[in-house]
A and B are shown apart, each in its own frame.
Chain A
Amino acid sequence: DIQMTQSPSTLSAYVGDRVTITCRASQYISTWVAWYQQKTGKAPKLLIYKASSLESGVPSRFSGSGSGTEFTLTISNLQPDDFATYYCQQYNFYPLTFGGGTKVEIK
C-alpha cells in the first residue's frame, strides 16, 4: 500500500500568513494527488485534484504543487474560514490512501 506522510501534523498561524503543508508518498504516484479541507463535525471538501488543479468554487488563495513523491498545499493570505484540518489523498493505486492530516490553528 502507498503511505502518505503529511507534515506538520499541527500548524499555528496568523490570519494573513502564507502556510505550506507537505505530503510525501512512499512511492512514485505522478500527480495523482488530491487535497481536502475538513472542518470540525463536517464532511471533507475537495480543494485540489491532480496535484495542482483547483476545484471549481475554491478560492484562488489555495494552490497545490508537486509530482512524483513530494506534494505541497499552500494557502496564501490565510483567512479565518481556513482554520481546519487538511488531508492529502493519493489515487494512483488501490487501496486509496490519505495522509494523517494537518490541523491549521489560529496563533
Chain B
Amino acid sequence: QVQLVESGGGLVKPGGSLRLSCAASGFTFSDYYMTWIRQAPGKGLEWVSYISRSADTIYYADSVKGRFTISRDNVFSSLYLEMNSLRAEDTAVYYCARIDEMADYFDNWGQGTLVTVSS
C-alpha cells in the first residue's frame, strides 16, 4: 500500500533552516507529481509547494517563495523541502502528499512532521 513518511521536523530559531524529507513506498514514485502542504496549530490547510515527475516544473505559495526549495530523488523515492529564513508563521505540521495521476488533488498523505519556529 502507499506509504509516505515525513521526517526532519523540530524546533528551530527564527532565521534558521531545516530540511524535511518524505520517504515514499508502495508505488512508483517517479510516476507521480508530489506536493507539500502545511497546517498551523489549530488552523486550516495551506498548500506550500509542487514538483513535477522529473522536477522540471515547480510551484510555490507566495508565502514561502524565495525561502523554501522543493526537490525530489526518484532513485531513492524521496521528496524534500529545504526551508530557510524561517519565521514564526512557518510553525506548522508539514505533510507530503501524492498528487493524483489525473488532476491536482491529493490522493495520499503522510502523517506529517511538526516544525516549530521559536526563540
A interface residues (Cβ-Cβ under 8 A, vs B): 32, 34, 36, 38, 42-46, 49-50, 55, 87, 89, 91, 94-101
Closest to A34 in B: B105
A96 to B47, CA, bound (A): 6
- Contact, CB under 8 Å: B59 / A43: no
User: Is B32 on the interface with A (CB-CB < 8 A)?
Assistant: no
Contact present for A98 and B105 (CB under 8 Å) = no
Number of A-B contacts (CB under 8 A): 55
Chain B residues touching A, range: 20 to 34
Knowing A55-B107, A96-B104, the reply to whether A87 touches B95 (Cβ < 8 A) is no
Instruction: Kindly state whether residue B111 has any CB partner on chain A within 8 Å.
Output: yes
CB of A87 within 8 A of CB of B105, answer no
Q: Which of B75-113 contact A (CB under 8 A)?
A: 95, 100, 103-112
Question: Quick one: which of A98, A99, A101 contacts B47, CB cutoff 8 A?
Answer: A98
Interface pairs A-B: 9 shortest CB-CB = A34-B105, A43-B109, A91-B104, A96-B47, A98-B45, A101-B44, A49-B105, A94-B59, A100-B44
